[in-house]
Amino acid sequence: MKLVFATHNKNKLREVQAIIPKHIELLSLEDIGCFEEIEENGATIEENAAIKANYVFENYQVNCFADDTGLEVESLDGAPGVYSARYAGLQKSAEDNMQKLLEELKDKDNRNARFKTVIALRTTHEKIIFNGIINGTITKDKKGENGFGYDPVFQAEGYQQTFAEISSEEKNKVSHRALAMKQLIDYLKIKP
């Protein structure tokens, strides 16, 4: 089975390539000649994932899935949420985003947060949504060199290290994206 992952994010692509079973041929947007930036103008994470999957399916006629991920911080009323990638501005700088987040949390005792990934699968016959959520806290300082995005400041429940301090293999077992991908993979296993 061939399936396109509708992302230009090389870090996400590497994570998914490490998770997806070998019987599924994973193609990137570049593999199908899609180089345009797909505008994510949805009001929710779910809408953004569906926008990307629908765009690729309708313009390239390929079975595909897309994801969108948000970091939701309790004391910030769920922010940055759908704006996670551009929290500190349209330049989409992970460093700037983390700095802004740490600054906004500097006087807050409640540092509870969760990562949420939504995967939208779009094929000829179906449109399905899968969710992966992992709870944790935002650390006071950045720690670790692995991962990407907010990983250096997110510590998952049950862990003493941030996502940037654990190995990619460990992260790929427990992360929000891994949980959503597991649902997608389990679904594809039962398809004829």
CATH number for the domain that contains residue 40: 3.90.950.10
> Which positions ≥6 away from 69 have C-beta within 8 Å?
45, 84, 115, 116, 117, 118, 149, 176, 177
pLDDT (tens digit, 9 = 90+) per residue, 146-167?
989 999 999 999 999 999 999 9
Indicate the pLDDT class of residue 192, thresholds 50, 70 and 90: low
Residue 116 burial (CB count, 10 A): 24
The answer to whether 40 and 46 are in contact (CB under 8 A) is no
Residue 89 burial (CB count, 10 A): 10
Catalytic residues: 68
This prediction has a pTM of 0.91
Residue with the two structure tokens 């992260």: 171
Quick one: which of 179, 184, 88, 83 has its CA closest to 135? 179
The domain tally of the chain equals 1
Expressed as residue numbers, the domain containing 91 is 2-190
Q: What is the pLDDT of residue 191?
A: 66
Q: pLDDT at residue 186 above 80?
A: yes
